[in-house]
Amino acid sequence: MALSEKKRALIEKIGVHFEFKGMQPLFGRILGLMLVHERAEVTFDEIVEELNVSKSAVSNALTFLQATGKVAYHTKPGDRKRYFHLPMKDFTSDMEKELMEIVKFEEVLEEVLVERGETNADFNCSLKEFLNFIKFIKMEIPVLIEKYKQQKGS
Amino acid sequence: MALSEKKRALIEKIGVHFEFKGMQPLFGRILGLMLVHERAEVTFDEIVEELNVSKSAVSNALTFLQATGKVAYHTKPGDRKRYFHLPMKDFTSDMEKELMEIVKFEEVLEEVLVERGETNADFNCSLKEFLNFIKFIKMEIPVLIEKYKQQKGS
DNA sequence: ATTTTGGTTCTGTAATTACAGAATTAAAAA
DNA sequence: TTTTTAATTCTGTAATTACAGAACCAAAAT
């Protein structure tokens, strides 16, 4: 299955996307390959061949991606290969985690506020406002996601 | 102004937080210093001394942090120094940008869907569902932030 | 006019990252 | 039993990152 030029370009684009999120380049490209691949699943060797990388790199990448829940695999009867794929079932909770990661800063800011003296009332006030805002977002994100699930179900 | 041990620890913690977001360690520690500092503003030299880093490192960091809008400075009459600080006014739009960054993936996924054939209806369907979800979140985030502003104003 | 202050820019480097390649292993096939 | 397949693990390395240090520069103070 030779990939089209367009698909190859997309894999690179997806790779860059995940690289921006702190992942190693190859890790993101593997996710990209799974996304654009017709079967939406790839074997170890297919990754090696399509992306032109070493087996060691693929092995490390798959170990990491599986450990972090980004990738899973299934097997087929009478076939020794593993078929790696994206676990698409629960993307909502994935997204929720990502969104909540941003508001994690709340905890640190709370500590900052405790540690700060009273000499700079203006700044302390801004900080408190910011904290209120973060807390608001933190509370509303799960509500938002629940709202989506409701709407979808109806 | 000698910083307390607790504040120093907090600076490191904040540094790690921003390092996780892809920033250089020092960049995050400078933001941390500004957060815990009583005056909530620091001079170039104060950064050098409190964080025990070179002037070049501080210069580079401040250039970057100002370019990306994370840091600003003001001056004082009869004082040549710049007083660097966090621009706390518009943290809501900062947060909005961060949240919207996550849903940027929508654009790439849309391209993926266009490029995929019809052979894997199941996967394509999951992809479409995921896209719907991302679009929903993308639409609702600005609404959420507006809601906060309303509530605060009243 | 020269020195000092506040900061920048350039050059080098230790440490880390992101792999490649070879050796290795474990299970299944021949 | 030997060989093949599917993957892992270990070792090395090119490239990049995150700084330090020194030289430099411009404006203000002396």
pLDDT confidence band for A147 (50 / 70 / 90): very high
Rg for chain A (alpha carbons), in Å?
21
End of a domain among B70, B85, B100?
B85
End of a domain among A85, A112, A144?
A85
CB of B102 within 8 Å of a chain A CB? The answer is: yes
Tens digits of residue pLDDT in A59-96: 999 999 999 999 999 999 988 899 999 999 889 999 99
End of a domain among B52, B85, B118?
B85
- Residue B148 carries which side chain, given as an amino acid letter? Y
For residues A72 and A14, state if they share a domain.
yes
Cβ of A16 near strand C (distance < 7 A): no
Structural domain of residue A69, as residue ranges? 5-85
Look at residue B153 in the predicted model and tell me its pLDDT: 81
- Residue A108 carries which side chain, given as an amino acid letter? V
Minimum CA–CA partner of A127 in chain B: B88
Mention every residue, 6+ apart, whose C-beta is less than 8 A from residue A77. Answer: none
Distance CA B93, CA A38 (A): 39
CB of A100 within 8 Å of a chain B CB? The answer is: no
Cβ of A66 near strand D (distance < 7 A): no
From the CB of residue A103, how many other CB atoms can be counted at a distance below 10 Å? 19
Residue A55 has pLDDT above 90, yes or no: yes
Closest nucleotide to B55's CA, by C1' atom? Answer: C7
List for chain A the helix, strand, coil content (%; round to 5): 70, 10, 25
List CB contacts (< 8 A) between B105 and chain A: 17
For residues B49 and B117, state if they share a domain.
no
Residue numbers of chain B with a pLDDT score lower than 50:
none
Strand D positions with any atom < 7 Å from protein CB? 5-11, 17-23, 28-29
Window 19-48 of chain A: CB closer than 7 A to strand D: 43-45
Tally of domains in chain B: 2
Residue A2 has pLDDT above 90, yes or no: no
For residues A19 and A35, state if they share a domain.
yes
Give, in order, the Cα–Cα distances in Å from B70 to each of A99, B23, B62, B64, B93.
20, 12, 9, 9, 12
Look at residue A153 in the predicted model and tell me its pLDDT: 81
